[in-house]
Structure 1
Amino acid sequence: MKTALLKRRSSGIAPGWAKEIEKPEIKPGYARIYRVVRQIPPGKVATYGQIAKIVDWCTARMVGYAMAALRGRTDVPWQRVINSKGEISTRSRGDGALRQRKLLEKEGIRFDPKGRVNLRKARWKGLYAHSAEERKHGEVNHGQSPDEME
């Protein structure tokens, strides 16, 4: 992990006080995956394989590793990435799958009794195919490649 030096300047604490904290290093390829995942609008999901095809150089498994590498608060909507069966992939630790389901349900995603999402209804169409409603609300990247997105 990289170490970043943060300076905290506020009243009551000596100016120039500095504390070292650990900041996770993002693997080079993950940044591009995260840019694509950020494009998935609320109420839609994408599969690991779908993201891999858009990114073009990685596999579905690598997308899974990138999602698993996210820690704490993030602007990457990791919960919107599910497996090709429409299921939430199980986690090796913690209650991540339950948390993911709750986040998706808050966004209006419905699960059947077997815990699956109907991909025909909820699947994000990708970067280049958007509904009129999505265009109306500015949820389109207007044909940018993943490298051009921010």
Structure 2
Amino acid sequence: MPEQPLLPPDANPEARRAAVYLVMAQIPPGKVVSYGELAAMAGLGRAARWVGRLMSQLPDDTRLPWHRVIAAGGRLSLPAGSAAGHEQRQRLRAEGLTIINDRVDIRRHGWHSFEHSE
């Protein structure tokens, strides 16, 4: 992850969204990334909450792998009883991830963009 944001702090919202979507689209099946890691990989520094808000606005029919973005420490932030939470858990399990106590083993399933950049 970059130490300094790649985008200038005053980058327009469309450029920020595009950067997040570009990185999110690259998360491979069976891997997860936290909101904060996604923000950093997109060059936004410490913008985890902004990324979370952005993701909450995705259309229902998005093809982006939103289900692979989770909270820090491997925690699934969508409530288990909600439709979106159920769908996220179902998709992650279909990709081979084990969910225990609403958590994914981030050490085993965490993704770092440099692992797949070759």
TM-score per shorter chain, which class?
0.7 to 0.9
Query: Percent of aligned pairs with the same residue?
Result: 36
1:48 aligns to what? 35
Which amino acid in the other structure matches residue 82 of structure 1? I
Which has the higher Rg, Structure 1 or Structure 2? 1
Contact 2:35/2:72 (8 A) holds in 1: yes
CA distance in 1, matches of 2:43, 2:37: 10
| CA distance in structure 2 between the partners assigned to 1:86 and 1:115 by the alignment | 8
Compute the TM-score of the two structures, normalised by the length of structure 2: 0.79
Q: Which residue of structure 1 aligns with residue 8 of structure 2?
A: none
What RMSD, in angstroms, separates the aligned Cα atoms of the two structures? 1.8
Specify the code of the residue in structure 1 equivalent to 2:110.
R
Unaligned runs of 5+ in 2: 1-12
Q: Name the TM-score, length of structure 1 as normaliser.
A: 0.63
- 1:1-150 equivalences under 5 Å are 28=14, 29-57=16-44, 59-90=47-78, 94-112=82-100, 114-126=101-113, 128-130=114-116, 140=117, 142=118
Instruction: Specify which structure has the higher proportion of helix.
Output: 2
- Give distance in 2, aligned partners of 1:129 and 1:90: 27
| Structure 1 unpaired stretches of 5+ | 1-26, 131-139, 143-150
Distance 1:64 1:30 in 2: 11
